[in-house]
Chain A
Amino acid sequence: MNDIIIKNITRIVIPFAQAYGIFIILNGHISPGGGFAGGAIIGTSLILYTLVFGREKGKKKFSHKMSEIAESGGIMIFVLIGVIGIIMAGSFLANQSAGFPQGELGNILSGGFIPILMIAIGIKVASTMISLFNILIDEEKV
Chain B
Amino acid sequence: MIIEQLPIINLLLFLFMALIIPLLKRKPFKITLILGFIVLILVFISSGYLLWYVNNVEIISYTFGGHETRFGIEFLVNPFSALFTTVISGLALIIYVYSSGDKTEGIEKKEFGRYYVLLFILLLSMFGILYTNDLFNTYVFIEILSITTCAIISIKKKKDTYTSAFRYVMMNEIGSLSYLFGVALIYMATGFTNITLVSESIQTAFSAYPFNIIIALGFMIIGLGIKAAIFPFHIWLPDAHSSAPSTSSAILSAIVIKVYLLVMVKVLYSVFGLDILVEMNIPIILLILSATAMILGSVFAIAQKDVKRMLGYSSVAQVGYILLGISLLSLAGLEAAFFHIISHGLMKTALFLSVGEIIFYKKTRKVNDFDGMGFIMPVAMGVFSIAALGMIGLPLTSGFISKLNLGIAVLENNYVIFLVVLILSSLLNVIYYLPIIILAFLRNEKYHYRMTTIEHTPKTMITPLIFLAILIVALGLFPNVIMPVIESAAKTLIP
Contacts and interface: CB of A to CB of B under 8 A. Distances in A.
B60 to A, nearest CB: 13
A76 B25 CA distance: 17
A91 interface: yes
Given A94-B66, A142-B159, A72 B19 contact: yes
Contacts of A76: 19
A142 B12 contact: no
Interface stretch (B1-9, B199-207, B325-333, B421-429): B1-9
A62 to B, nearest CB: 16
B233 interface: no
A90 B63 contact: no
Contacts of B8: 86, 92
Contacts, number: 44
B19 A75 contact: yes
Interface string B7-46: 0100010011001101101000000000000000000000
Interface in A24-80: 68-69, 71-72, 75-76, 79
Is chain B's interface secondary structure helix, strand, loop, or mixed overall?
Answer: helix
B71 interface: no
Contacts of A92: 5, 8, 62, 64-65
Nearest to A91: B66
A72 B19 CA distance: 5
A85 interface: yes
B4 A93 contact: no
A94 B65 contact: yes
A85 B72 CA distance: 15
A86 B62 CA distance: 12
Nearest to A72: B19
B103 interface: no
Interface in B152-179: 157-159, 162
B65 A95 contact: yes
Interface string B125-161: 0000000000000000000000000000000011100
A94 B157 CA distance: 43
Contact of B157 (A83, A93, A95, A142): A142
Contacts of B22: 68, 71-72
A90 B8 CA distance: 11
A97 interface: yes
A79 B124 CA distance: 14
Given A83-B12, A95-B65, A90 B5 contact: yes
Contacts of B19: 72, 75-76
Contacts of A86: 5, 8
Contacts of A142: 157-159, 162
A89 interface: yes
A94 to B, nearest CB: 5
Contacts of A94: 65-66
A97 B16 contact: no
Interface residues of A, number: 20
Contacts of A72: 19-20, 22-23
Given A79-B16, A142-B162, A89 B66 contact: yes
Interface centre among A75, A89, A93 (most CB of B within 10 A): A93
A91 B64 contact: yes
A75 B16 CA distance: 9
A93 B65 contact: yes
A97 B72 CA distance: 15
Interface centre among B1, B64, B66, B157 (most CB of A within 10 A): B66
A69 B23 CA distance: 7
Contacts of A93: 64-65
A75 B21 CA distance: 13
A130 B66 CA distance: 36
Contacts of A90: 1, 4-5
A73 to B, nearest CB: 9
A94 B162 CA distance: 42
Contacts of B1: 90
A70 to B, nearest CB: 11
Given A90-B1, A142-B159, A75 B64 contact: no
B182 to A, nearest CB: 26
B187 to A, nearest CB: 23
Interface in A88-134: 89-95, 97
Nearest to A69: B23
A136 to B, nearest CB: 15
Nearest to B63: A91
Nearest to A74: B19
A79 B65 contact: no
A110 to B, nearest CB: 17
A68 B114 CA distance: 12
A94 B63 CA distance: 10
A23 to B, nearest CB: 27
A31 B16 CA distance: 31
Contacts of B23: 68-69, 72
Given A79-B16, A89-B66, 5 more contacts: A71-B22, A72-B19, A75-B15, A91-B63, A94-B65
Closest 9 CB pairs of A and B: A93-B65, A72-B19, A91-B66, A92-B8, A94-B66, A68-B22, A94-B65, A97-B66, A93-B64
10 contacts: A68-B25, A72-B20, A72-B22, A75-B15, A75-B19, A79-B16, A91-B62, A91-B63, A91-B66, A142-B158
